[in-house]
Amino acid sequence: MEKEFSRVRSAQDLTISLILIICGAVLVALPTSTSVNIIGFFMIFAGVILILTLKTSYKLVETGEKFKKKERFFAQSKKDTYTAALAGNNPSAIDLAEENKGNGLRLDLYYSQKLGKAYCRLYEYIPYRYEPCTPFYEYKTDKLENLLK
């Protein structure tokens, strides 16, 4: 069973967009100078663009549960070590001191504190894109506490 995540709007995305639109409308409606009205129109425009494009949450397609995403990058030389750590149910063996010392590996973490679930997958850089080199592994969020900092 392969996991698939799709990008969706979160409540925070909608809140930010609506606040911009409402504040912009208030500035336009007030009897103020032209420059304040221009700022109001700009805020309305920015809010509309954000409501159409901003998607910061991820949804597990098969269940509809929402998750946040965190990416970590590591050197290619750590592939075997980290693959074994994920497969052996020991994600705490992943050393964050090695993070950003190379971009050959990407560790994607999809997590939900509310559900207490997290999914991990390791990707390897093949020229021009990252290809998955492990399946998704499911953990409890408390087991991944050091990776979610």
pLDDT at 134 over 60: yes
Domain boundaries, the chain: 5-58, 65-144
Cα(44)–Cα(21) distance, integer angstroms: 4
pLDDT tens-digit readout, 14-64: 999 999 999 999 999 999 899 999 999 999 999 999 999 999 999 998 889
Measured over the CA atoms of residue 73, residue 78, residue 79 and residue 82, the dihedral's sign is: negative
Ramachandran class of 89: left when φ > 0, alpha when ψ lies in -120 to 50, beta otherwise: left
